Amino acid sequence: MAAGRPAAVLAGGVIALAVLVLLSLGLGAQPLSPAAVLHAVVHPHGTDEAERIVNGLRLPRTLVGLVAGSALGMAGAVMQGVTRNPLADPGLLGVNAGASLAVIVAITLFGVTSPAGYVWFALAGAAVAAALVYLVGTTGAGGATPVKLALAGAALTAGLTSVVTLVLLSHSDVFQQFRFWQVGSLTGRGLSAVGLAAPFAAVGAALALVGARSLNILGLGDDVARGLGQNVRLARGVCALAVVLLAGAATSIAGPIVFVGLVAAHAARRAAGADYRWIVVLSAVVGPALLIAADVVGRFVAPPGELEAGIVVAIIGAPVMIALVRRPRLQVAA
């Protein structure tokens, strides 16, 4: 596919994302004009009401949407490329479940109560879950096939979710703290949490971009990739580390939001074809656009309250996944 079409889509996506960021900063219980939003951003230490609303409430949640959405979009694209499974997503292959259990441990055993404190635990949980999925998926004949990895991820997600539920039922005080994070939201996260998670997401994004070319070669099959001089184990390791950093950072600040990676990667693939160098980049734009749009919609669908972004994304993502499963040409490589 010529580079012109995905480049044009990327430019359009960046413009759409900028518009959504402006809407996120301006819309809410008290709508603000674009001029008032820009004035508040330029004067971050102002004291009038508009500046307090933008810089104190809406700017942090918008930055969470940008960081988490971009990280989840790229993680979904990389996971689909590594596993050759078009339904792969951090929320469907155990990574988010591992991060959730680690956050439960942080709250229960160490008394961590702030999203900023969840970052380290979420990253560790995501790493352990990814390692377990890969370990289970590599056992038996044939090594780590996409089907085995998908089944291992589903099994691990079910098991870890059961453990999380058991802990929550046994500790009502933990449930009260965990439920606001677990539903998947952009609210209540300060700039400190974003500042802790952003460097991990940035390193993960860099690794994903480096590994994108390898994903094109891995898509031809391991034997062909080795014949072309590709170090398959190293390529998969780089991509796996990218997924852990991206998904762990996103989950630590936004909660275990599912379907963002799935939807973003498929939308990017429709524009970029099979070239993962473009798919990864486009997913980094589609992901935050989807998450911020879901957050903005959630502010108005359940007045006088709000519907969390994770719920809105799930409402959008579930039909997309069903449609993908029903597509005749959708095949998961064995």
Mean pLDDT is lowest, of 74-78, 181-185, 313-317, for: 181-185
pLDDT of residue 145: 67
Unique residue bearing structure tokens 């190293």: 234
pLDDT of residue 244: 87
Residue 332 pLDDT > 50: no
> What is the per-residue pLDDT across 17-31, written as a single tens digit (0 to 9) for each?
999 999 999 998 888
Q: What is the mean pLDDT of residues 201-223?
A: 90
Share the mean pLDDT of the chain: 85
pLDDT of residue 333: 45
Q: What is the mean pLDDT of residues 272-297?
A: 93
pLDDT of residue 77: 94
**Separation of CA 162 from chain center:** 22
199, two tokens: 């460097």
Q: What is the mean pLDDT of residues 258-275?
A: 88
Q: What is the pTM of this model?
A: 0.88
Sign of the CA dihedral with 277 first, then 278, 279, and 283 last: positive
Percent of the chain with pLDDT over 90: 26
Domains defined along the chain, listed by start: 60-326 (1.10.3470.10)
- Contact by Cβ (8 Å): 201, 67: yes
> What is the per-residue pLDDT across 289-317, written as a single tens digit (0 to 9) for each?
999 999 999 988 877 778 888 889 888 87
- Contact by Cβ (8 Å): 145, 216: no
**Separation of CA 141 from chain center:** 32
> What is the per-residue pLDDT across 35-72, written as a single tens digit (0 to 9) for each?
888 888 887 776 788 888 888 889 999 999 999 999 99
> What is the per-residue pLDDT across 120-173, written as a single tens digit (0 to 9) for each?
898 899 889 988 888 887 776 666 666 777 788 888 988 998 898 888 888 777
**Rounded distance between C-alpha atoms, residue 270 and residue 281, angstroms:** 13
What Å distances lie between residue 289 and 2, 64, 232, CA to CA?
Answer: 24, 12, 33
pLDDT of residue 12: 93
φ, ψ (nearest 5 deg) of residue 114: -110, 145
Max mean pLDDT range (70-79, 85-94, 144-153, 323-332): 70-79
pLDDT of residue 334: 43
Q: Residue 322 class from Cβ within 10 Å (0-12 exposed, 13-18 middle, 19+ buried)? A: exposed
Sign of the CA dihedral with 145 first, then 146, 148, and 149 last: positive
